Amino acid sequence: MEKRTENMGLIDRLRKETALSREELGILLSTMTKEDAEYLYRNADEVRREHYGTDVYIRGLIEFTNYCRNDCLYCGIRRSNTRAQRYRLTTEEILDCCDKGYLLGFRTFVLQGGEDLFFTDEKICAIVSEIKKRHPDCAVTLSIGERQRESYEAFFKAGADRYLLRHETINPAHYRLLHPKELTIENRRQCLNDLREIGFQVGCGMMVGSPYQTLDYILDDLYFMKDFRPHMIGIGPFIPHADTPFHDRERGTLEDTLRLLAIIRLMNPRVLLPATTALGTIYPLGREMGIQAGANVVMPNLSPTGVRDKYMLYDGKICTGDEAAECRHCMELRMEKIGYHVVSARGDSKV
């Protein structure tokens, strides 16, 4: 019989009330044992099953440009990395990825790239409109960074359904240590608010184990995400890239990422929560463990294999050589093996 601990009592309350005091949540995160963590994962998995069953939604990820105007200290495609092999997919290549993905059962396409102003509002709108014209039963998600509100409005009018904009860290002091001075957390928060007001299903998210991160910063993120009530939350471990100022920093851990995934599920029961590629990069079964800890989304890569190893936000990225069909089939087998089922559906948020 499982021996009860005080932390298990806190987990029970978190599940029931979806919140704890800041002090209680800090104690839970800082004193959690392996047994506590297993109890946490079971509860998070049960809550996810209450709302989404054993369904795992797949998103077809298309990394269409690795040019970026920003110089974030942790990112491998930062503008000052002269070693990066830059590329841009053509409109035809992007649409071809979507057409192939549709035949494989994908019903959400995620267009992700650096902040590349070569792709003007007009170009993005034209791409989105054509995807929706060809595949009207699919959702289009954009993840292309900070733009003006007018740009977001145009994307939404063109047919984009969702927008991912990870905040990385909500604490201003910590944000300043990770980003160039022209980027501010205040502007990122404004972008997130604009996206929500316009009508997007909005995703934010934090980086786990980033340089200078403290428990207080993590708590700031957890309460921000709770208050903001996003439709999607994407978190993943920090993984250093050799050609960045943080090349010699320790990466985020599997343990911390899984625990935070589970905490986020209990605090945000209906949220869409991916088990990210970064999680699979730091541990071979990381994505499976993420699903078992409360996640319910995976994002196989639909990008052409010829560019996948150029979209390197961090070192060691997995699945750069697999064809789209291989990624789709592999993910389905991985999920079935642990008792979950990849489904061909848009997979809209229930928030």
pLDDT in tens, 73-124: 999 999 999 999 999 999 999 999 999 999 999 999 999 999 999 999 999 9
pLDDT at 190 over 70: yes
Asked whether residue 196 carries a pLDDT value surpassing 60, the answer given is yes
* Mean pLDDT (the chain, rounded): 96
Which value, to the nearest 10 degrees, does the dihedral of the CA atoms of residues 179, 65, 335, 96 take?
A: 160
Other Cβ atoms closer than 10 A to 148: 11
Q: At 324, is the pLDDT very low, low, confident or very high (cuts 50, 70, 90)?
A: confident
Say whether pLDDT at 69 is over 60.
yes
Instruction: State residue 328's pLDDT score.
Output: 87
pLDDT surpassing 90 at residue 319 = no
- Whether residue 95 contacts residue 127, with contact meaning beta carbons closer than 8 Å, is answered with yes
Give the Cα separation of 93 and 62 in Å (integer).
10
Separation in Å, CA 27 to CA 11, 21, 76, 206, 284: 11, 10, 35, 20, 30
pLDDT for the residue numbered 203: 98
Q: So what's the pLDDT on residue 227?
A: 98
State the pTM of this model. 0.97
| Model confidence band, residue 1 (pLDDT cutoffs 50, 70, 90) | low
